[in-house]
Structure 1
C-alpha cells in the first residue's frame, strides 16, 4: 500500500511555486522531453514525487551550465552516451573555470596596482595575456 505522501500529486501551479518557477517553464520542459506528468480525468497535469526529483535535477543541471538537451541525454540516454556527454561537459566546465580564474587574476592584479593608469603597470600588462592583439602572451612595457 502506498503512503499518502507517495500518492500525493501536485498541479502545475503548485509544482512551479515550490521551485520558484513560472508554470510555462514546466510546460516547456515537458515539450522538450524532460518531464512527462500524469494527467487526471480532466486532462490536467499531475506531478508526483519522481517529477519533483526530476525538476530538481533539471535545475541543478542548469546551474552547472548544462543545456536542456544535455540534461535530457543525461537523464534518458544510454550509459555510453551519458559518459560522452559528461566528458564533453566536464571539458567545457574546466575551460569556464580557467577563464574565471584568469579574470580573477586580472581583477586582483588591478586591485593591488598603485599605478594611476593600469595600462602603465608593469605587473598588470602580462596578466592581460594575448588580449592586446599581439601573438605574444605579454605586452612589453612602454618605452
Structure 2
C-alpha cells in the first residue's frame, strides 16, 4: 500500500514534468506499461513508483527501444527479457559502429582539400564496406 505521505500526481503534472503529451501516458497505460491508481472520480493518480516507471520508459525510448522491448524490460516475469535485451545491445553495438564510421567520414570531409569529396581516395576507402561489390570503384578517381 502506498504511503499517505506520498503525494500523487495527475496525468497532466507527470506529462508536463517529462515534456510529454498526456495522450502518450494514456497510450502507455493502454498497452500495459503503466497502471496508475485512480481517485474516487476516476482520475489517474501517479505515485512515486509510477513516475519512476515513466522515467524508465522515457530513457529506454531515448535509447532506441520499442514499447515491446520496454514491456519485456519492465515485466515481473523474466522470461524473454534476456533475449530481448541482448538483441537490443547487439543493435546498439551495430548503430554505435555506424556512428563511429559516420563521424570519421564527416571529420575527414571537413578537413579534406578535395573539391568533390567523392573523388578523394581516402574518403572512398571509408566506403569500402558499401562499395564492396564494386572493388574497382574503391580506388578509382
TM-score by length of 1: 0.88
CA RMSD of aligned residues (A): 2.0
Aligned to 2:48: 49
2:16 aligned with 1:17: yes
CA drift at 1:119:
2.1
Give the Cα–Cα distance (whole angstroms) in 2 for the partners of residues 104 and 138 of structure 1.
Answer: 22
1: CA distance between counterparts of 2:137 and 2:107? 17
Distance 1:22 1:119 in 2: 43
5+ residue gaps, structure 1: none
Say which SS state the counterpart of residue 93 (structure 1) adopts: helix
Pairs aligned (count): 140
Q: Deviations over 1:7-47 (max 9, x none)?
A: x1111111111111111010000011110011111111111
Partner of 1:128: 127
The answer to whether 1:2 aligns with 2:6 is no
Determine the structure 2 residue equivalent to 1:75. Answer: 74
Matched, 1:119 2:118: yes
Q: How does 1:85-96 map to 2 (within 5 A)?
A: 85-96=84-95
TM-score (norm 2): 0.89
